[in-house]
Amino acid sequence: MNVGFIGLGLMGRPMALHLEQAGHTLHLWARRPESLAPFAAVNAKTHASPAAVAAHAEVVITLVADAPDVDAVCLGENGLAAGAKPGLIVVDMSTINPNAARNIGEKLAALGIAFVDAPVSGGEIGAINATLTIMVGGTPAAFETVKPLLEKMGKSVTLIGESGAGQVAKACNQILTGVGTLAVAEALNFAAKSGVDPAKVREALLGGFAYSKILENHGQRMLDRNFKPGFKAWMHQKDLRIVMEEAHRLGLMLPSAAATAQVFNAMVGSGLGEQDSISALMLLEKMSTPEA
């Protein structure tokens, strides 16, 4: 199949390469030409604009930073809509506001283009190992068409519901991972400041009801003091903003997510934004240590 791919960053690069290895022809466009370098030796054609990518593809995948970027790539000047052949399906794997996804989906539908929101969880490692969790919103027909592609990038591919539903599931994911990461950081810091070995505490808790993947994986990285991203704190901060915007719009009370979002604000404000989101631990340590 001719597959367009726009957004060749940390996640996008390995994801696109999985599709190429599965025998698909890639059609690429990138804001920065150097992003295209890893594709010089594979079956990939580069184009001058998203419109040109759309003109050559049956499915185009986008994976960019935020809603305005998705909007610009889809509906902006020389965007996908400007070059789309009839029946094009756009699969947006970015994490954006569910309501924004619905709006973009409606605008594209009016132009005869199907839009599927398919945000992912699993980080860079999940992208490299093709073990991502992919949460999909869109029509069943569009889902069936793109499902074989998504299965080359992820281990778990689930149609959640209509347009926007994938982003709602991702927002739920970010509530759990954001609050969970902070909870693990708080627990390990609590143990350490109480004079107890946090590694032993983690080991003990893994056998009980507090077991979680976050305690297992992120907890270990906290103990190893390996704060390299992974998933950058500023991105988690952005995702929690999306959650809190929707909570405001819908009149929902999310006290834990709200408090967690404030800790992520503090991380970005104190220069930890480019570190992994587990560096919440460093912030807690700093907050609970006397000034030197």
- Residues that are catalytic: 170
What minimum distance in Å lies between the beta carbon of 95 and another protein? 15
Of 20-28, 51-59, 74-82, 265-273, which part binds another protein (CB under 8 A)? 265-273
What minimum distance in Å lies between the beta carbon of 206 and another protein? 30
* φ/ψ (deg, to 5) at 121: -130, 145
Separation CA 81–CA 111 (nearest Å): 7
Please give the structure tokens belonging to residue 77: 């000047």
Of 19-27, 190-198, 223-231, 268-276, which part binds another protein (CB under 8 A)? 268-276
Residue with tokens 């810091």: 189
User: Which residues, at least 6 apart from 201, have a Cβ–Cβ distance to it below 8 Å?
Assistant: 187, 188, 191
Of 55-63, 139-147, 197-205, 261-269, which part binds another protein (CB under 8 A)? 261-269
Contacts with another protein, 209-248, as mask; x by CB under 8 A: ----------------------------x---x--xx-xx
Toward another protein, which CB reaches closer, 42 or 259? 259
CA atoms within 13 A on the CB side of 194: 11
Residue 270 binds to another protein (criterion: CB under 8 A):
yes
Toward another protein, which CB reaches closer, 39 or 231? 231
Please give the structure tokens belonging to residue 110: 């009016």
What minimum distance in Å lies between the beta carbon of 185 and another protein? 15
Q: Are 162 and 116 in contact (CB under 8 A)?
A: no
Of 49-57, 84-92, 124-132, 260-268, which part binds another protein (CB under 8 A)? 260-268
Q: Are 6 and 70 in contact (CB under 8 A)?
A: no
Q: Binder to another protein among 17, 273, 278, 279 (CB under 8 A)?
A: 273
Q: Are 44 and 19 in contact (CB under 8 A)?
A: no
Residue 100 binds to another protein (criterion: CB under 8 A):
no
What minimum distance in Å lies between the beta carbon of 286 and another protein? 12
Separation CA 250–CA 99 (nearest Å): 11
Contacts with another protein, 128-167, as mask; x by CB under 8 A: ----------------------------------------
Q: Looking at this protein, which amino acid is placed at residue 288? A: S
Q: Binder to another protein among 42, 225, 252, 288 (CB under 8 A)?
A: 252
Separation CA 29–CA 93 (nearest Å): 16
- Residue of 110, 130, 7, 6 lying closest to 57 (CA atoms): 6
Residue 259 binds to another protein (criterion: CB under 8 A):
yes
* β-bridge mates for residue 89, sequence order: 59, 114
What minimum distance in Å lies between the beta carbon of 243 and another protein? 11
User: Which residues, at least 6 apart from 277, have a Cβ–Cβ distance to it below 8 Å?
Assistant: 178, 181, 229, 230, 231, 232, 233, 235, 236, 264, 267
Footprint of another protein on this chain (CB under 8 A)?
A: 237, 241, 244-245, 247-248, 250-255, 258-259, 261-263, 265-270, 273
